[in-house]
Amino acid sequence: MKNKYTKGDYLYLQNKKKIEIIKTIVFFGISAALYLAGYITTGSNKNYLTIVAVLGCLPASKSAVSMIMNLKIKGCSEKAYKTISSVVQENVGAYNLYFTSYDKNYDMAHVYTRGMTVIGFTENCKVMENDFEEHIKTVLNKDAIKGVNVKLYKDLDKYVARIQQMQNLENEKSREKDIMKTLYAVSL
């Protein structure tokens, strides 16, 4: 059994949520302990430990923001995971990616790429297909990966059927790793 999960693994999101919660509690706990130590020893909050405690709230707050963002992600359901993992033969896909843009956020249960085609599956009915497709094309174009076809699916059966079709096609793997590297870089 794997101890460390990497981005794109099914259990990565669950593990990351736990780690972010623990980090946030520890960081705020350290700041509170420093403040209390200064207050108890001097009888006032006008001391250097208070300053250190307040400065310690900066990384704690950053951790809290990260925790909140990760808690927002619903992730891939177990049913969808079992269905998709039974079909995906190669490890050129990723689970639980959350893409952010200036206007909208896109919660992807799974993303798969083969050749110059990227397909995604979401269980979030609020995600707009055209917006997601344009966002991913723009991101890939900025990273000098042009001519990529992007398609978003909300129906699991259609998504799985498309993966099976793509696996039967001839493949040039030259850009798949670059595409996935870019997608990992722009997702939470």
User: Which residues, 6 or more positions from 95, have their beta carbon under 8 angstroms from its beta carbon?
Assistant: 8, 9, 10, 12, 13, 75, 76, 81, 84, 109, 110
Mean pLDDT along residues 166-170 = 76
Query: What's residue 75's pLDDT?
Result: 82
Write down the domain spans for the chain: 12-72, 78-185
Residue 174 has pLDDT above 80, yes or no: no
Q: Which of 181, 113, 121, 102 is nearest to 149 (CA)?
A: 113
Measured CA to CA, the distance from residue 118 to residue 184 in angstroms comes to 13
Residues shown for the chain: 188
20 and 86 Cβ atoms separated by less than 8 Å = no
Query: What's residue 29's pLDDT?
Result: 96
Residue 108 has pLDDT above 50, yes or no: yes
pLDDT tens column, 79-91? 888 888 888 866 6
Greater pLDDT, 185 or 21: 21
State the pLDDT confidence band at 2, using cuts at 50, 70 and 90.
very low
State the pLDDT confidence band at 18, using cuts at 50, 70 and 90.
very high
Backbone angles phi, psi at 21, to 5 degrees: -65, -45
pLDDT tens column, 38-66? 999 998 888 899 999 999 999 999 999 99
